[in-house]
């Protein structure tokens, strides 16, 4: 939350504004800003420092917001309750407090001027033009449950905690022995042989009998039970659907066009293309200008010379600007051009630009014919919006005690539709909508037979539904699902046979048989590979991954095992050797990257150890 408020801060802030902020804090005063005694509102004390209920509430809201931002609507509602989030939020506050206390004890601090400059530079606290807005500052803090003093304290602690964590993490290091071991393991190769026992071949010897089908059916009734299903009548009301039945006259369109023309404000937009040349490019710019003067195509030259990867393939086209999309020097040059003209080289921070004006628009109101389609849409939407409001109110009133939604639909001039039977897992189109399905299976609709409340699917789309049919969950007759059961039984028998064959193969190898002899006995093909890495593309992926899970062979005896593959086959793997990589075989940049990553991981572990120790020795009193 604090970070969200401070994002996109702008560097240097004037001393006058910083002074103003100091005055705000001085006038407010920490004590006067509290509406209650923190001690009486405490949730936890950590070594005497109070974590208040207000802190906990704010932490819960922040954690909830973070979860929603990361996972969106997919998060089940029960995971976002205050009860569910309270304990982890308190734990996080305790850890933060412990680290802050330890950091302050170690002498870490943040200067008031630094804090004030950061607050002044926070975009969320600024008005247009980038100036600090005192009223906005105090208002936004109030929304988040902060006062100026508590907010200043919070960001101060943020910075101190960050300093402390960086101090611990940045002292972590990797010993040469550790690095050598990790590099050897990470870049190791393996020698192994493997055979694939095919499911297709096993299937030829599998027989499925009626008794097998019956046994599976009786052992797994839930698999062959049709879930409860319901069918509903529903009335859908939406602005988009209402617009389809609305017509507008030529006179209405003409009047609206005249009204739009009177309120039209000219705002010229220019479509620019450019050729960007980075670095010392004056000579190249002169060459390109000469080619343009000789009649060569601008778009072709842009593709050949421009260093702007985002536009060169479009002939340098940058789209339209109303005067504020490009750097000031660029916009000034563009404004002087007529359509089709090319500028002299223009220098900006990005490099040298050769600019062409492709088109202009917006200087004059569109003609009637040009504006007509948009005006028709505008008029239809306005009328549909008006009808939507009226019909929405009546829809709720009329459907409340309606015996049939068909009567409601008729009175409103709408259409009643039926969903046909669908289960709680949903179907397609509207029956795939969670809100629709939830309403259909609610006690009010399913058990009591009432019409649902008006359900808002979207801001301009609602629906009301009422049950017309209900089929309880029931076990399907064996005859109806016999083929389905047979497929399941066949698949199970194939997998059981494959597992047995693979197990027998492994047993034979462990008893001294060679993989070649055993494969020949079963008519299988052996593949032997040497010095292959984890990502070798020439080896069966499943066999390769499994080979890298096997233990290092001991005393020359291969390590053997089997694994089911993604295709449903079984692979038997005999690992002959593990070849650790020497440091000299690992490129310097990869070695450096691994060393950095290991140090970072060690730093994280060190920080966790510090936090655990602080918590072990702390005096923590929970409410």
- For every residue of 128-174, DSSP letters joined together read TTS-B-HHHHHHHHHHTT--HHHHHHHHHHHHHHHHHHHHHHTT---
Query: What is the rounded average pLDDT of the residues 124-152?
Result: 81
Q: Which of 342, 271, 332, 330 minimizes the C-alpha distance to 301? A: 342
pLDDT (0 to 100) of residue 317:
92
Q: What is the mean pLDDT of the chain?
A: 87
Looking at the fold, whether 554 and 490 belong to one and the same domain comes out as yes
Domain boundary residue among 361, 388, 422?
Answer: 361
Across 439-453, average pLDDT: 95
Give whole-number Cα distances, 73 to 70, 384, 589, 623, in Å.
10, 29, 42, 33
Distance from the Cα of residue 140 to its chain's centroid: 27
Indicate if the pLDDT at residue 282 is higher than 80: yes
pLDDT of res. 22: 40
Q: Let me know if residue 551 belongs to a domain.
A: yes
User: What pLDDT band is residue 264 in, cutting at 50, 70 and 90?
Assistant: low
Same domain, 325 and 394: no
Average pLDDT over residues 516-525: 93
Q: Are 14 and 80 contained in the same domain?
A: yes
Q: Is the pLDDT of residue 507 over 90?
A: yes
Q: For the chain, what percent of residues have pLDDT higher than 70?
A: 92
| Cβ-contact 122, 92 below 8 angstroms | no
In a domain, 243, yes or no: yes
**CB-CB neighbours of 295 under 10 Å:** 6
Q: Return the exposure string of 482-512: e unless at least 16 CB atoms fall within 10 Å of the residue's CB, then b.
A: eeebbebbbeebbeebbeebbeebbebbeee
SS percent in the chain: helix, strand, coil, step 5 = 55, 20, 30
* Residue 363: per-residue pLDDT: 67
| Confidence at residue 191, expressed as pLDDT on a 0 to 100 scale | 97
pLDDT greater than 90 at residue 427:
no
Note whether 101 and 199 are same-domain residues: no
Stronger pLDDT, 387 or 320, i.e. the higher one:
387
Are 33 and 162 within one domain? yes
Domain assignment of residue 128, given as a range: 2-169
Residues 343 and 382 in one domain: no
Q: Is residue 176 part of a domain?
A: no
Q: Which residues, 6+ apart, have CB-to-CB distance to 169 below 8 Å?
A: 600, 603, 604, 606, 607
| Whole-number pLDDT of residue 29 | 38
Is the same domain home to 288 and 410?
Answer: no
The residues pairing with 87 across neighbouring beta strands, listed in sequence order, are: none
Q: Is the confidence at residue 86, as pLDDT, over 50? A: yes
Residue 174 belongs to a domain: no
> Looking at residues 197-222, what average pLDDT do you find?
94
Domain assignment present for residue 357? The answer is: yes
Please compute, for residue 474, the number of CA atoms within 13 A of its CA located in the half-sphere on the CB side: 8
Question: Quick one: average pLDDT of 428-434?
Answer: 91
- Whether residue 366 is contained in a domain is answered as no
pLDDT at 340: 94
Instruction: Tell me how crowded residue 310 is: count the other CB atoms within 10 A of its CB.
Output: 9
pLDDT band of 526, cuts 50, 70, 90 = very high
Element (H, E) at 317: strand 317-321
This prediction's pTM: 0.53
Strand, helix or coil at 389? helix
| pLDDT classification of 251: cutoffs 50, 70, 90 | very high
For residues 148 and 33, state if they share a domain.
Answer: yes
Q: Tens digits of per-residue pLDDT, 35-54?
A: 344 444 678 999 999 998 88
Q: pLDDT per residue over 534-574, tens digit each?
A: 999 999 999 999 999 999 999 889 999 999 999 999 999 99
pLDDT at residue 73 tops 60: yes
Spatial neighbors of 184 by CB under 8 A, at least 6 apart, are 580, 581, 582, 583
Q: Is residue 260 part of a domain?
A: no
**CA–CA distances in Å: residue 596 to residues 372, 391, 536:** 63, 65, 26
The total of structural domains in the chain comes to 4
Give me the DSSP letters along 22-81.
HHHHHHH-HHHH-SS-GGGGEEEEETTEEEEHHHHHHHHHHHHHHHHHHHGGGS-GGGGS
| In-domain check, residue 446 | yes
For residue 33, pLDDT over 60 is answered with no
* Cβ count within 10 A of residue 300: 12
Shared domain for 20 and 165, answered yes or no, is: yes
Tell whether 300 and 410 lie within a shared domain.
no
Residues in the chain: 623
pLDDT for 144 beyond 80: no
User: Which of 136-150, 249-263, 274-288, 386-400 is most confident?
Assistant: 386-400
Where are the alpha helices (H) located in 263-345, listed in sequence order?
282-293, 298-305, 328-335
From 183-187, 311-315, 496-500, the region with the lowest mean pLDDT:
311-315
Cα separation, 288 vs 176, whole angstroms: 55
Would you say residue 196 has pLDDT above 80? Answer: yes
User: Tens digits of per-residue pLDDT, 148-165?
Assistant: 888 888 888 889 998 998
Q: Looking at residues 444-452, what average pLDDT do you find?
A: 95
């Amino acid at each position: 939350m604090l970070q969200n408020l401070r994002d996109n801060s702008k560097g240097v802030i004037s001393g006058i504004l910083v002074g103003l902020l100091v005055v705000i804090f001085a006038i407010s005063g920490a004590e006067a800003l509290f509406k209650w005694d923190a001690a009486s509102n405490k949730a936890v004390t950590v070594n005497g420092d109070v974590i208040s209920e207000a802190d906990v509430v704010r932490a819960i809201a922040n954690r909830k917001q973070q979860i929603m931002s990361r996972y969106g609507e997919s998060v089940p509602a029960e995971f976002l309750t205050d009860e569910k989030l309270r304990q982890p939020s308190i734990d996080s506050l305790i850890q933060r407090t412990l680290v802050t206390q330890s950091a302050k004890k170690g002498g870490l601090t943040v200067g008031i001027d630094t804090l004030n400059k950061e607050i002044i530079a926070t975009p969320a606290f600024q008005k247009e033009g980038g100036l600090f807005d005192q009223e906005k500052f105090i208002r936004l803090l109030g929304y988040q449950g902060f006062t100026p003093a508590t907010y200043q304290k919070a960001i101060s602690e943020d910075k101190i905690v960050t300093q402390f964590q960086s101090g611990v993490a940045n002292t972590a290091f990797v010993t040469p022995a550790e690095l050598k071991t990790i590099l050897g393991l990470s870049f190791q190769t393996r020698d192994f042989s493997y055979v694939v026992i095919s499911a297709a071949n096993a299937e030829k010897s599998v027989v499925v009998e009626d008794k097998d089908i019956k046994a599976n059916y009786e052992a797994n009734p839930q698999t062959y039970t049709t879930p409860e299903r319901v069918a509903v009548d529903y009335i859908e009301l939406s602005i988009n659907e209402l617009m389809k039945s609305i017509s507008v006259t030529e006179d209405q369109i003409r009047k609206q066009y005249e009204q739009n023309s009177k309120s039209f404000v000219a705002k010229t937009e220019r479509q620019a293309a450019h050729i960007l040349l980075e670095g010392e490019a004056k000579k190249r710019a002169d060459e390109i200008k000469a080619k343009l003067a000789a009649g060569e195509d601008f778009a072709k030259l842009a593709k050949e010379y421009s260093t702007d990867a985002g536009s060169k393939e479009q002939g340098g086209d940058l789209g339209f600007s109303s005067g504020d999309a490009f750097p000031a020097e660029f916009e000034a040059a563009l404004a002087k051009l007529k359509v089709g003209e090319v500028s002299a080289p223009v220098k900006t921070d990005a490099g040298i630009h050769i600019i062409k004006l492709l088109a202009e628009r917006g200087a004059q109101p569109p003609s009637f014919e040009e504006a007509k389609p948009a005006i028709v849409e505008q008029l239809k939407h306005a009328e549909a919006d008006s009808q939507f409001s009226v019909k929405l109110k009546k829809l709720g009133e009329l459907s409340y005690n309606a015996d049939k939604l068909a009567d409601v639909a008729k009175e409103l001039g709408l259409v009643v539709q039926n969903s046909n039977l669908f289960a709680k897992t949903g179907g397609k189109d509207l029956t795939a909508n969670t809100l629709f399905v939830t309403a259909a299976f609610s006690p009010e609709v399913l058990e009591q037979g009432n019409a649902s409340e008006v359900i808002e699917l979207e801001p301009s789309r609602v629906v009301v539904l009422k049950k017309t049919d209900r089929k309880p969950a029931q076990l399907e007759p064996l005859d109806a699902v016999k083929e389905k059961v047979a497929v399941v039984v066949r698949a199970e028998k194939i997998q059981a046979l494959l597992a047995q064959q693979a197990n027998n193969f492994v047993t034979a190898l462990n008893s001294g048989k060679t993989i070649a002899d055993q494969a020949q006995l079963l008519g299988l093909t052996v593949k032997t590979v040497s010095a292959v890495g984890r990502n070798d593309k020439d080896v069966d992926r499943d066999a390769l991954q499994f080979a890298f899970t096997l233990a290092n062979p001991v005393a020359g005896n291969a390590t053997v095992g089997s694994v089911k593959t993604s295709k449903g086959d079984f692979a038997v793997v005999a690992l002959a050797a593990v070849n650790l990589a020497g440091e000299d075989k690992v490129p310097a940049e990869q070695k450096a990257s691994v060393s950095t990553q290991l140090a970072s991981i060690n730093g994280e572990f060190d920080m966790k150890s510090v936090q655990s120790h602080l918590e072990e020795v702390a005096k923590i009193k929970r409410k």
